[in-house]
Amino acid sequence: MNRTAIAGRSVLVTGGSGFLGCHVVSALEARRAGRIIVPRSASCDLTDAVATRSLFERERPEIVLHLAAHVGGIGANRRQPGTFFRDNALMGIHVVEECRRLGVQKLVLVGTVCAYPKFAPIPFRENDLWNGYPEETNAPYGVAKKSILVMAQAYRQEFGLDAVTLFPVNLYGPRDNFDLEDSHVIPAMIRKFVEARISGERHVTLWGDGSPTREFLYVDDAADAIVLAAERYDSPDPVNVGAGFEIRMRDLAEKIGRLARFTGEIVWDTTRPNGQPRRMLDTSRARERFGFTATTTFDAGLAKTIGWYEANREDILRREAERRKA
């Protein structure tokens, strides 16, 4: 197994100030990485080739973890499909090219479970990635991410770039995005249930009919998987990263409602889309290739996430109000 030492190395983390990124930075600090470089989107637009080249020329990283992405829930993907494809494809293309040009020692690319075909067999296995088209509401985002897997494999074959690609399931945890306009399902549910409890509302309305299933991975576990892959994995084969379970949306809602101490009724708006019918990953390759297994139980992770939202709720609402006024 080809090992890449983290201690003492300069590591560039694109998206390092985001939800997943800040947890990855903490994991790198625990492994005593030398210099951790976290570019801000306001000062470095990775969709711009010139800006990306300037960043790499200035920082000269030894290891790159590419987490930056333009992401959102079903609603955001439906509103901006072209933007989601363009931004995610361009960021990946520019980062991979600069890693090749400067001879970066290791590149870890983070894809998305949305890349899988809509009706892939359960559990999703990496060999199924190309056996159909992704679910329509987030296909542009998923295809853009999958195209960077192809680029990474081609660059490994032609240029010898040590680039590996991970496909994580939906993440959740403290510091997630709780804005209802573009949040994912767990933070959106947490916010709706907590706000309903505080305001005394007796109903919470959720999208779809509650029948789809999803798999969720606690963000600290995902961060550990990314760093482990940087240290231990060296292959063109994509790797699923998940917790190895699935839960129906209806059951998820009841669980979060209970943990958030909401005692009212859950109403399902069946005029809204369900998204992909089922999602669950086969996680055996991650365990076998670089020793990753999720360790956070779902109930424990949800409790931590709800507690974090409640503790930071006032700041979150204040910042949202300020953004909308600007």
Is the Cβ–Cβ distance between 223 and 26 less than 8 Å?
yes
Contacts of 134 (CB under 8 A, 6+ apart): 114, 115, 116, 117, 118, 142, 143, 276
Sign of CA pseudo-dihedral 185, 253, 319, 65: negative
Cα Dmax for the chain: 61
Query: Using CA atoms, how far apart are residues 224 and 247, in angstroms rounded to an integer?
Result: 23
| Cα–Cα distance, 306 to 288 (Å, whole number) | 33
Let me know if 141 is a catalytic residue.
yes
Which of the residues 116, 141, 218, 309 is marked catalytic?
141
Q: For residues 249 and 208, is the Cβ–Cβ distance under 8 A?
A: yes
Contact predicate 286/223, CB 8 Å: no
> Mind telling me the catalytic residues?
141
